[in-house]
């Protein structure tokens, strides 16, 4: 079976290029081509959704999800692996809207611990909702421009047919840089949660309110669409006890998962340097 992420990713990029609405984004100053309401869906038992039409840095999404599960705002542990959050940090080296902090502390409850206990007690529950967006502090609530507001802003987790299904909702997604990273990261989280709950991984659904390509990536997006999907579905043998090890910020876990991916991940050639639009 061919890599389903490559196929769906290529289809959305092609659709944006051909049918996207081209407008200048006032916040960034860049022209974007955008489409509303795009959806991707993957059966995690059939393969891990990992972009192979170009290389992505594997350790980044792994370390980021582990950092989220620790519930930290401070970047020190994550900075061993990536600097991508540094532009959003305060002088204290903390990210005020860090997703993991919001999962575990911000709303006066530990949403992740509550999710695990809920699904251990009642596998048929449909109440497994996790929020990153704070309506009292993000978006419409005030006129100030914050350093960071969550792009993935909520996800739900349910067990259906003995399999863990995760539905992620993203308000705004840079398809060339953010999307492959976000999909792989939350697929990794789904595997960790499935292990913790003693069930198989199931469907990962990603709903994107605004899927866009920035002007500085138009040529690279066109190149992605010209490439043939050749990579087979990515099958990974994950190490045991990942959820508990992630909560403990186990550095060995990053290395073990990276080695498991490295054996099977054979991406196509680089597209060259790609700058992040902040």
Whether 8 is in a domain gets the answer no
Classify residue 123 as exposed, middle or buried by CB count within 10 Å of its CB (0-12, 13-18, 19+): middle
Classify residue 73 as exposed, middle or buried by CB count within 10 Å of its CB (0-12, 13-18, 19+): buried
Q: What is the pLDDT of residue 140?
A: 76
Whether 219 is in a domain gets the answer no
- Backbone phi, psi, residue 271, to 5°: -95, 5
Closest residue by Cα to residue 78 from 97, 107, 106, 100: 100
The pTM (predicted TM-score) of the whole model is 0.96
Q: Strand pairing of 200-214 and 173-174?
A: parallel
DSSP 84-116: TTGGG--TTSB-TT-HHHIIIIITSS-HHHHHH
Q: What is the pLDDT of residue 133?
A: 96
Whether 199 is in a domain gets the answer yes
Q: What is the pLDDT of residue 136?
A: 87
Can you give the residue range of the structural domain that contains 190?
A: 35-212+231-264
Contact of 240 with 195, CB cutoff 8 Å: yes
Whether 153 is in a domain gets the answer yes
Q: Using pLDDT thresholds of 50, 70 and 90, give the confidence band for residue 145.
A: low
Query: Catalytic residue positions?
Result: 151
Contact of 2 with 232, CB cutoff 8 Å: yes
| Distance between CA atoms of residues 147 and 96, nearest Å | 9
Paired with 167 in beta bridges are: 156, 205
pLDDT tens for each residue of 222-233: 999 999 999 999
Whether 244 is in a domain gets the answer yes
Whether 146 is in a domain gets the answer yes
Residue 163 sits in a domain whose CATH number is 3.30.572.10
Instruction: Tokens for 105, please give them.
Output: 């502390």
Whether 171 is in a domain gets the answer yes
Instruction: Tokens for 243, please give them.
Output: 């959820």
Greater model confidence, 240 or 26: 240
**Is 278 a residue whose pLDDT tops 90?**
no
Q: How many helices (H) and strands (E) does the chain have?
A: 8, 7
Q: Using pLDDT thresholds of 50, 70 and 90, give the confidence band for residue 86.
A: very high
Contact of 8 with 180, CB cutoff 8 Å: no
Q: Using pLDDT thresholds of 50, 70 and 90, give the confidence band for residue 142.
A: low
Whether 39 is in a domain gets the answer yes
Contact of 274 with 220, CB cutoff 8 Å: yes
**Is 277 a residue whose pLDDT tops 90?**
no
pLDDT tens for each residue of 19-44: 999 999 888 899 999 999 999 999 99
Contact of 250 with 80, CB cutoff 8 Å: no
Q: How many domains does the chain have?
A: 1
């Amino acid at each position: 079976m061919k890599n389903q992420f490559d196929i769906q990713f290529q289809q959305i990029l092609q659709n944006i290029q051909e049918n996207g609405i081209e407008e200048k984004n006032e916040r960034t100053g860049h022209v974007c081509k955008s489409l509303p309401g795009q959806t991707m869906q993957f059966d995690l038992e059939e393969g891990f959704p990992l972009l192979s039409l170009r290389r992505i840095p594997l350790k980044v999404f792994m370390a980021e999800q582990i950092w989220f599960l620790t519930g930290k705002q401070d970047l020190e542990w994550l900075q061993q692996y990536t600097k991508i959050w540094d532009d959003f940090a305060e002088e204290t080296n903390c990210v005020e809207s860090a997703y993991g902090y919001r999962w575990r502390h911000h709303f006066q409850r530990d949403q992740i611990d509550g999710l695990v206990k809920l699904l251990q007690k009642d596998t048929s529950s449909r109440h497994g909702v996790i929020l990153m967006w704070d309506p009292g502090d993000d978006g419409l609530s005030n006129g100030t421009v914050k350093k960071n507001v969550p792009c993935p802003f909520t996800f739900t987790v349910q067990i259906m047919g003995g399999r863990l299904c995760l539905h992620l909702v993203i308000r705004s997604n840079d398809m060339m840089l953010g999307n492959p990273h976000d999909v792989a990261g939350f697929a990794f989280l789904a595997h960790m949660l499935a292990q913790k709950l003693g069930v198989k991984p199931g469907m990962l659904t990603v709903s994107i309110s605004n899927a866009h390509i920035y002007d500085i990536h138009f040529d690279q997006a066109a190149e992605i669409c010209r490439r043939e999907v050749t990579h087979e579905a990515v099958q990974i043998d994950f190490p045991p006890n990942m959820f508990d090890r992630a909560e403990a910020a186990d550095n060995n876990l990053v290395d073990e998962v990276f080695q498991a991916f490295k054996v099977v991940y054979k991406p196509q050639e680089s597209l060259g340097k790609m700058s992040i639009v902040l």
